[in-house]
Homo-oligomer: A and B are copies of this chain.
Amino acid sequence: MTSLTGQTQENSKPGGLSRIQEKNRNLILDAALSEFSRKGFSGATVERIAAEAGMSKSNLLYYFSSKEAIYNATLAHILEVWLAPLKTLNQDGDPAQELAAYICQKMEMSANFPEASRLFANEVMQGAPQILPILQTDLKRLVAEKSLVIENWIEAGKMRRVDPVHLIFTIWATTQHYADFSVQIRALTGRDLSDPEFLQETETSVTALILNGVGLSWPPEGE
């Protein structure tokens, strides 16, 4: 009987994992995110992930049955966080405030978790072999729902008529670009989102461009 399912020792932990299991799985997932985001799935090696996690390759394979299993776990681990911001877009709020907040959240995700952004980009660029089903179901539903929110704002005359889906794509594209292409950004400007000042400037520029682009006056008057 494998230890990952039926433990007798120190059980009753969250998710049924022992203290050691919990710790090591986290070490592995952190290392895996670093490795996979830098090298892609094929370029990553189990050996390096294990080394970065501070354990032997054999031990890593005791916790995850294969390289693909680590990869999937890593993807699943970040995907939830990655899609969270869109869920906060609130029909009843002010369109300008809501969209600005969304762009802000996404841009800070790019600043704080650029590795997650690159991992996701890599996965999708390879044809989304692992997460295509999720895109087609969960993400599709979420986008449809939020498109409707935007559509309602348009119907109510609160913003210019635009295709909501393209608006969402534009926000994804711009915010993630600063994470995924940070090396290029750094080569051209000498800075990237890890610089708080640059983050601030970028947020301001992008938000102004997109909000004005959809016919919302920005930045707001007064103050």
Contact = CB atoms under 8 A, between A and B. Distances in A.
A177 B205 CA distance: 19
Given A40-B40, A43-B41, A121-B121, A136 B173 contact: no
Interface residues of A, number: 54
A121 B125 contact: yes
Contacts of A40: 40, 42-43, 122, 126
Contact of A125 (B122, B174, B188): B122
A161 B102 CA distance: 23
A181 interface: yes
A121 B180 contact: yes
A212 B143 CA distance: 24
Nearest to A143: B188
Contacts of A201: 163, 166
- Interface of A, helix, strand, loop or mixed by DSSP: helix
A214 interface: yes
Nearest to A136: B187
Interface stretch (A8-16, A46-54, A92-100, A127-135): A127-135
Contacts of A205: 162-163, 166-167
A142 to B, nearest CB: 10
Given A208-B213, A209-B214, A187 B132 contact: yes
Interface in A117-150: 118, 121-122, 124-128, 132, 135-136, 139-140, 143
Contacts of A43: 40-43, 126
Given A40-B43, A42-B39, A189-B165, A132 B202 contact: no
5 contacts: A40-B42, A40-B122, A166-B205, A169-B174, A170-B209
